[in-house]
Structure formats: C-alpha cells, structure tokens
C-alpha cells in the first residue's frame, strides 16, 4: 500500500487556527505519533504528511498544516504553505474548538473551491454537552453540513469522523478517471514505445508507462512494449496493425514516421494530461504557441525539482522549438514547485511538466489559476506534438478535446 504513488491518493488536509488540536486529532485518528503536539501555539510549522489506507476509500494522504491565524514574517510564510495545501486538498477537515470569523471564512473558502469539508469540533471532552451542542449549532448555522464533535484525549467521535470522511469523499476517488481503458476494446493490441536511452531511469519503466500497461490489462487488452528503434521491425511482424500506438513524447517524430497514417497514435503525456487534468485546456494552450512573438515571456513550470531529464526537455529542446516558431528570442523563466510567480499574468504561455507527483485536483487548481490570469497553459507532451506538427494526429482519438480546441482556434482567429 505504501507504494501507491502520492499523486493517486486522496489528499485530506487538516486546517484550522493554531492550538485548536489539529495535530492531536491527526495522531489520534491514525493512532500514530505523526505530528508534534504541544500547548504552544504554532507548533506545526511546515505541512506534515501521513500516508495510510482508509478502507473502503483506499489510499489517502493526511496533511497536517500550520495554523491559518499565524502572524509575523515567519507566520505569513507558514500561512502561505498552508494555502498551497488548500490547493491540493481533495477533502478538508476544518478543526476548531470555537466558531469565529476564521472558521466562517475557511468554510466559505472550501465551499467556493468545491472542496468537501468536514468540521471537527475538537477537545469535546473539555466542554459540557450543552456547550458542544451550541458549538455544533453555530457551525451548522454558517452552512457546515458535516459537523462532528470529537476528542483526541478520550477518542470520542473518532469513529463518527471516519464515517463522515468515507461517506462524503469526492466521487472521483471512488471512480478513478480512465488512463487508456476507455480507448480500447477487449482483445485490442496496443503498442507502447519506450526509448531506452541514457535519459531513461536504470532498471525500470517510469510511472505513466507502468500505469498504462496496467490499465490495458485491467481492460483485457494486450500491451506490447518496444524500443523506438525496433518499432518498425516489431510492426512488420504483426499480422494485423495495432489498435493504437502510444509513444514517449521524445520519440514522437520518429514514431509518427514509422506508424502507418491510419493507425491511431498518441503519447503517454497526452494520456496523462487527460488523466491528471483537463486535456482540452492543455491542448488549447499548445495551439497558443503559434501566437508567440519575439520578446514574449514563457513560463516553464515544473511540479517538482527532480525531473530526470527536465534540463533537456524543458530548458533546452522546448525553448529552442518555441523560438523557432516565434521567429526570435523569447524570455524564459523556469519555476519549480506549487507556487505561481507573482507576475503570472505577464506571461504569454505556461508550459508545464507532466506533474507526475501531483494529484488531479492540484493540477486542476493550477489550470484554474492560469485561466484566471488569462494565460494559456500546455504541457511538455502537447507542446512537443505541436512543435513537431503532429498534434492533430495525437489528439484524433479524443474527439471531445479536439472539438474544443478547434472552437477555441476559430474564436482566436476571429479575434485577431
Ligand atoms: N483536553 C484536550 N486537549 C487537547 C485535545 N486535542 C488537543 N489538545 C491539546 O491542545 C493543545 C494543542 O494541540 P495541537 O494538536 O498541538 O494543536 P494544533 O492545532 O496542531 O496547533 P499548532 O501546532 O499551533 O497548529 C495541546 O496542548 C494538546 O494536548 C483534546 O481533544 N482534548
Ligand atoms: S514530470 Fe514534473 S513532477 Fe514529474 S518528475 Fe518531472 S518535474 Fe517532477
Ligand atoms: Mg499542529
């Protein structure tokens, strides 16, 4: 279970003011000493994560945070980190031992973001039953639907908390979106093209490749894995052409020249773009590459700092292609991590990595912020396909996404 990738877990954030008992509640709930508890306000400074199996939901990731009411220069930084956890939370536990403006504002924030929220009325052992009832009534009066009084000391309410979590978890986590399963039929043969070069990790396949194979098997289809330089020979041995070819983006040009035009072809990054985020938005962003002009600012955004070949794709190859299309020098900024640069709106395009360490909600939050700032956003795989002139072919198996892209293109052309 511990090997479930972080991005596929239901992220449950623990939020609230300092000293309300967030960490104590997390420890009691998981029955482990995950987070430090003390009577000093501001004990938790950085987000603390705990992965566990929460049946029948499956793998979850609890994230304990610093209090949202922290003050001073350091406090402000801690609150910023907490707000980044807000962005990736699939589910929020709003912990409190009082009902004040802070709680009302937090509740409203989650409701506006459509994040399911559960109010945990902590330290219930310290209040008389009438006081607990009054607190619960105040929370419900503000619009909280799920309110559970509980105590980390006596264990009261912990089972109710668990039940409330399970029954109100987002549907998407009970029904994971398809990676490739909906694109194939039982008995179909799909060829997966995996370059095994110096950039490939030693001794293993990377996560999107493994997940694609697993999804094919789950859907009773066959997967044939070949190296890019052996693809031609492998296809020649087949009695019928494959139902679909999926390639690593870096081998796109070669693969597209080898695979017959009537055989559908796409890439792992495009499958992942749909699985993790919103393919139509990212495909629209790829088309926006054509609107770049010399001097425009382009943000290369990486979700983490350890992309094995990020230096090559994000920092060298894609910039070179984009400048060729723009017809002159562009201004590139590379940013790693979850935060956006303060001047996001000044960029003409965001090119994002595959975000393999993020969950879907986290990627959707970033897409939302880009949309709010009016900046088109795409990802490495779609950008590469567009630069190589094979985006149409790579999107052909996703008619819905392609239709939206076409609509957007028509609008933009009309605007110009
Ligand atoms: N009686 C009682 N005390 C509790 C309970 N939960 C937490 N406390 C106490 O409240 C204090 C704060 O608990 P924490 O869990 O550290 O609170 P926190 O919200 O994580 O605080 P920050 O680190 O500032 O974010 C500690 O002294 C705990 O022992 C509870 O259910 N009952
Ligand atoms: S794709 Fe993004 S999240 Fe995954 S390793 Fe590369 S930089 Fe990190
Ligand atoms: Mg704490």
Render each residue's pLDDT in the chain as its tens digit; 416 residues.
455 777 778 899 999 999 999 999 999 999 899 999 999 998 999 999 999 877 656 788 999 999 988 888 888 888 889 888 999 999 999 999 999 999 999 999 999 988 999 999 999 999 999 999 999 999 999 999 999 999 999 999 998 898 788 777 776 665 556 899 999 999 999 999 998 877 777 888 888 899 999 999 999 999 999 999 999 999 999 999 999 999 998 899 999 999 999 999 999 999 998 888 889 899 999 999 999 999 999 999 999 886 555 568 888 999 999 999 999 999 999 998 888 888 999 999 999 998 888 877 778 878 878 888 899 999 999 999 999 999 999 999 986 554 444 433 333 222 22
pLDDT score of 403:
46
Residue nearest to atom 32 of ligand 1 (CA): 123
Q: What is the pLDDT of residue 400?
A: 59
User: Are 347 and 297 spatial neighbours (Cβ–Cβ below 8 Å)?
Assistant: yes
pTM: 0.66
Do the bridges between strand 297-302 and strand 265-267 make them parallel or antiparallel, or are there none, so unpaired? unpaired
Sequence-distant (6+) residues with CB within 8 A of 225 are 191, 192, 194, 205, 209, 213
CA-nearest residue for atom 10, ligand 1, is 21
pLDDT of residue 57: 66
In the chain, which segments carry CATH 3.40.50.11410?
278-415
What's the pLDDT score for residue 330?
98
Q: How many residues in the chain?
A: 416
Answer whether 18 contacts ligand 1 (Cβ < 6 A). Answer: yes
Nearest CA to ligand 2 atom 3: 355
**Which pLDDT value is given to residue 412?**
29
Nearest CA to ligand 1 atom 30: 123
3-class SS of residue 89? coil
The pLDDT of residue 322 is 97
CATH number for the region 278-415 comes to 3.40.50.11410
The ligand 2 atom at the shortest distance from the C-alpha of residue 352 is 2
Q: Is the CB of 357 under 6 A from ligand 2?
A: yes
The structure tokens listed for 5 are 């990738």
Q: From atom 12 of ligand 1, which residue's Cα is the shortest distance away?
A: 19
User: Ligand 3 centroid vs 128 CA: distance in angstroms?
Assistant: 24
Tell me which H or E stretch contains 47: none
Task: Give the angle 184-389-360 at the CA atoms, nearest 5°.
Answer: 50
Which ligand 2 atom is nearest residue 356's CA? Answer: 4
Give the residue range(s) of CATH 3.40.50.11420 domains in the chain: 181-269
Would you say the CB of residue 334 lies under 6 angstroms from ligand 2? no
Q: CATH for 6-173, among 3.40.50.2000, 1.10.10.60, 3.40.50.300, 3.40.50.1100?
A: 3.40.50.300
The pLDDT value recorded for residue 407 is 39
Q: Whose CA is nearest to atom 6 of ligand 1?
A: 21
Q: Where are the beta strands (DSSP E) in 220-317?
A: 222-226, 244-247, 265-267, 297-302
Pick the CATH number of 181-269 from 3.30.160.20, 3.40.50.300, 3.30.930.10, 3.40.50.11420: 3.40.50.11420
- DSSP reduced 3-state for 394: helix
pLDDT of the residue at 308: 56
Cα separation, 249 vs 210, in Å, equals 16
Pick from 228, 225, 223: nearest CA to 255: 228
**Sequence ranges of the chain with CATH classification 3.40.50.300:** 6-173
Any atom of ligand 2 within 6 Å of the Cβ of 310: yes
Please work out whether the CB of residue 146 comes within 6 Å of at least one atom of ligand 1.
Answer: no
CA 296 to CA 319: how far, in whole Å?
A: 12
Q: Is the CB of 125 under 6 A from ligand 1?
A: yes
- What's the CA-to-centroid distance between 66 and ligand 3, angstroms? 6
* Residue 292 confidence (pLDDT): 97
């Amino acid at each position: 279970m511990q090997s479930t990738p972080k991005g596929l877990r239901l992220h449950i954030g623990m939020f609230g003011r300092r000293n309300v008992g967030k960490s104590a509640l997390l420890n009691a709930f998981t029955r482990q000493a995950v987070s430090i508890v003390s009577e000093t306000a501001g004990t938790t400074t950085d987000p603390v994560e705990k992965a566990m199996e929460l049946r029948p939901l499956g793998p979850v990731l609890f994230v304990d945070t610093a209090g949202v009411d922290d003050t001073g220069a350091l406090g402000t930084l801690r609150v910023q980190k907490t707000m980044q956890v807000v962005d990736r939370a699939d589910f929020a536990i709003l912990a409190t031992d009082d009902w004040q403006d802070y709680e009302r504002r937090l509740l409203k924030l989650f409701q506006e973001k459509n994040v399911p929220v559960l109010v945990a009325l902590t330290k219930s052992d310290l209040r008389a039953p009438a006081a607990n009832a009054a607190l619960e009534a105040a929370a419900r009066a503000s619009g909280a639907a799920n309110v559970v009084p509980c105590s980390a000391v006596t264990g009261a309410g912990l089972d109710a908390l668990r039940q409330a979590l399970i029954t109100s978890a987002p549907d998407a986590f009970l029904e994971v979106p398809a990676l490739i399963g909906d694109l194939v039929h039982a008995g179909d043969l799909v060829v997966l093209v995996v370059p095994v070069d110096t950039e490939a990790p030693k001794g293993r396949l990377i996560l999107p490749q493994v997940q694609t194979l697993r999804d094919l098997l789950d859907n009773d289809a066959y997967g044939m894995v070949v190296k890019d330089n052996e693809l031609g020979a492998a296809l020649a041995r087949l009695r019928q052409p494959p139902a679909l070819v999926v390639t690593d983006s870096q081998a796109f040009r070669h693969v597209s020249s080898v695979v017959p035009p009537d055989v559908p072809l796409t890439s792992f990054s495009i499958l992942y773009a749909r699985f993790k985020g919103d393919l139509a938005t990212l495909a629209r962003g790829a088309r926006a590459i054509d609107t770049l002009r010399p001097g425009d600012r382009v943000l290369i955004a990486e979700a983490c700092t350890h992309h094995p070949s990020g230096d090559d794709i994000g920092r060298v190859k894609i910039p070179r292609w984009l400048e060729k299309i723009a017809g002159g020098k562009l201004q590139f900024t590379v940013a790693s991590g979850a935060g956006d640069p303060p001047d996001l709106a000044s960029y003409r395009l965001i090119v994002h990595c595959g975000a393999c360490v993020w969950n879907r909600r986290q990627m959707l939050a970033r897409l939302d912020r880009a949309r709010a700032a009016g900046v088109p956003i795409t990802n490495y795989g779609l950008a590469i396909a567009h630069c190589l002139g094979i985006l149409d072919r790579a999107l052909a198996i996703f008619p819905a996404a392609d239709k939206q892209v076409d609509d957007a293109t028509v609008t933009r052309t009309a605007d110009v």
